[in-house]
Amino acid sequence: MHQKKAAVIGSGVAGLASAIRLAVQGFSVTVYEKNEYPGGKLSHFEKDGFHFDAGPSLFTQPQNIAELFTLAGENMQDYFSYKQLPISCNYFYEDGTIINAWANANQLAKELHDKTGEDENAVMQYLNGAATLYQNVAEIFLNYSLHKLNTLFKAPILKALQTAKGRHLFGSLHTLNNKAFTKPHTVQLFNRYATYNGSNPYKAPGMLSLIPHLEHNEGNFYPKGGMISITNALYALALKKGVNFKFNLPVERIIESGGKVLGLVADKKNIPADVVISNMDIYGTYKYLLQNPDKATAILKQERSSSALVFYWGINGTFPQLDLHNIFFSNDYKTEFEHLFVHKTMQPDPTVYINITSKCEPGVQAPDGKENWFVMVNAPANIGQNWEEIKPAIKQLVLQKLSRLLQTNIEPLIETEEILDPISIETKTASYMGSLYGSSSNSKMAAFLRHPNFSKNIMGLYFAGGSVHPGGGIPLCLKSAKIMSELVAADFSKQKQH
């Protein structure tokens, strides 16, 4: 009997999850990866004794990973472990205010009251509302295809319609937050969640107010070994399930004929497949692999998400006031987003994020008495800006800001450095224009305009990853793979019936 063949293009977290799920379904799965390593953005490097997670640094909803191991019949503890964190993030403001954002709603409410005078009840009401939104609305968006009619019958649509209000659908996240809270520090803290999918809180819909639920109601976690351990665990699981990997082998084209996928071309060879799953940015999939420039151009009608400028610094010293996640806010948040999305540049006072995994594993992630700093600032998508001029200028602004707020001259402490900019993000991960999340959520219909997880015109072609439904970030990429695999199972079930 012919074993069904699946070809997965790209080994990002959604590509790995897709490969595992299809292998469990009985497919013979081969993953084609242009880089020499798996993981896509979820990668890692070591330099001068310092370990750096190169990409995503926030870990929420570990149940998405646990589900893959359960599905595959494997014990997750044999591959992967993690711990829950008491504090989600430390926030530093220019006026000297420091907020420890506890990964617990009651503690966060008390902290915001003690540090800013914010009403505790307002914080609890907000987070309770975020939980309700997530359970009644996000569950549909994140677990079902929005582009299949049968979703209307499978998903609890009525409950979602009853939960979502006008402020969630038609007003901006900032407008919602500004009405929910009385203190500007609190508003800015909750505005930040728009950046979790590369969006502008002054434009993105209030529906994004459900995102804090993940951290402050469900919890924030740290995977032992750093974020790269997620990639390593999924890669090992895929191998265990018989998935074949072809590294250093970029796909040149997807083969289709008569509205049906036939396979792909790699290394100038035609490789047959019953299904093809693209984990590549959807723009590049259409432009290069399907050679459909019109469809690729249509995708660009949606505004691209923000990108990032990342400095990886090995620091000779320790900072007890810092934790795993730290934010140093801009004093003018609105202007920062105007620069990013309107002027396509960076303002002189950027918000700075620092991730330090050596806080969780001292002496392992960095040498004793030292710290590994992942220092990120939001950047616009690349439209040809002079990054060779921007990078040193922003570096000095970041150093000035950190030195001022930490009351320590940071630059002499930097032992080693690497820099990632939007151009190198696109080169390494094929994310068009260096956008981290594909399209932004800066329009009211953004969630519905994301590309579906299947092709409407080519049978057997599917999509998974941050640039398609339901969106970017590790939890959503993993859910993307799940939605895709369920569509594949349903489609093949129909074929058997026929």
Q: Residues 445-450: what's their mean pLDDT?
A: 71
Taking the alpha carbons at both ends of the chain, their separation in whole angstroms is 18
pLDDT tens digit sequence for 280-303: 999 999 999 999 999 999 998 889
Question: Does pLDDT of 165 surpass 70?
Answer: no
> What pLDDT shows up at residue 83?
97
Backbone angles phi, psi at 461, to 5 degrees: -110, 125
Percent of the chain with pLDDT over 90: 86
From the DSSP assignment, how many helices (H) and strands (E) are in the chain? 19, 19
Phi, psi angles (nearest 5°) of residue 385: -60, 155
Closest CA to 55 of 418, 323, 329, 390: 418
Environment class of 248 (CB within 10 Å of its CB; exposed 0-12, middle 13-18, buried 19+): exposed
Q: Is 41 left (phi over 0), alpha (psi -120 to 50) or beta?
A: alpha
**Would the pLDDT of 167 be above 90?**
no
Give tens-digit pLDDT for 374-394: 999 999 999 999 999 999 999
CA distance 243 to 240: 7
Q: Rounded to 5 degrees, what are φ and ψ at 60?
A: -125, 165
- Quickly state the pLDDT bin for 79 (edges 50, 70, 90): very high
Per-residue pLDDT band for 143 (boundaries 50, 70, 90) equals: confident
Dihedral through CA 312, CA 318, CA 323, CA 325, nearest 10?
Answer: -10
- For residues 138-158, give the mean pLDDT: 65
What residues does each domain of the chain span? 104-218, 304-432
pTM of the complete model: 0.94
Question: What is the per-residue pLDDT for 145?
Answer: 76
Peptide bond into 212 cis (omega under 30): no
pLDDT of residue 164 exceeding 70: no
In the predicted structure, residue 157 carries a pLDDT above the cut 70: no
Beta bridge partners of 355: 325, 374
Average pLDDT of the chain, as a whole number? 93
Categorize the per-residue pLDDT at 400 as very low, low, confident or very high, splitting at 50, 70 and 90.
very high
Write out the two tokens for 88.
Answer: 């989600």
For residues 64-87, average pLDDT: 97
Output 467 or 164, whichever has higher pLDDT.
467
CA-CA distance, 318 to 460, in Å (whole number)?
53
- Tell me the two tokens of residue 332: 């003018």
Cα–Cα distance measured from residue 201 to residue 305, given in angstroms and rounded to the nearest whole number? 12
Q: What pLDDT does residue 166 have?
A: 58
User: What's the confidence (pLDDT) of residue 263?
Assistant: 98
**pLDDT the model gives residue 135:** 86
* Residue 341 scores a pLDDT above 60: yes
pLDDT at 445: 67
Nearest CA to 409 out of 346, 311, 317, 320 is that of 317
pLDDT in tens, 238-275: 999 999 999 999 999 999 999 999 999 999 999 999 99
